[in-house]
């Protein structure tokens, strides 16, 4: 591979890395909401998969069935995070042209 081609590849990789860093910054502004139980529980997650809001309708609160409410909350959170991840991954795919590059997709933060 010529030095010129190598230089171009390095510049493209650096540019993609900068764009990915910018996308990770913007992930906090992306939102996805999921409603479960016929509107009883709604969770909102950002692109960093942080829960930013949780709304529970008063009718969902039954002291005799706390387990149902817990299940609804968990389901709403899981779905909101799944949608947020899907949205973030779609943005990554646009950036990478659909290539599955190591370290460029999936979670927008380190675990």
Predicted confidence (pLDDT) per residue in 1-26, tens digit: 788 888 888 888 788 888 888 888 77
Domains annotated for the chain, with CATH where assigned, are: 3-96 (3.30.1310.10)
For 31-76, the pLDDT digits (tens) are 999 999 999 999 999 988 899 999 999 999 999 999 999 999 999 9
Write the Ramachandran bin of 63: left for phi over 0, alpha for psi from -120 to 50, otherwise beta. Answer: alpha
C-beta neighbour count of 46 within 10 angstroms: 21
pLDDT given for residue 111 in this prediction: 31
CA 1 to each of CA 4, 6, 12, 15: distance values in angstroms, whole numbers, following the listed order? 8, 7, 16, 20
Helix (H, G, I), strand (E, B) or coil at 111: coil
**Helices 3-26 & 66-96, crossing angle to 10 degrees?**
150
Confidence (pTM)? 0.72
């Amino acid at each position: 591979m010529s030095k010129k081609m190598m230089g171009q590849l390095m510049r493209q990789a650096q540019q993609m890395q900068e764009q990915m860093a910018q996308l990770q910054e913007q992930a906090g502004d992306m939102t996805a909401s999921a409603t479960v139980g016929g509107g009883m529980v709604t969770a909102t997650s950002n692109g960093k998969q942080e829960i930013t809001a949780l709304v529970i309708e008063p009718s969902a609160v039954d002291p005799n069935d706390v387990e149902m409410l817990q299940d609804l909350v968990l389901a709403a959170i899981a779905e909101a995070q799944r949608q947020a991840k899907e949205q973030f991954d779609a943005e990554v795919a646009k950036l990478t042209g659909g290539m599955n590059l190591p370290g460029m997709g999936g979670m927008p933060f380190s675990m």
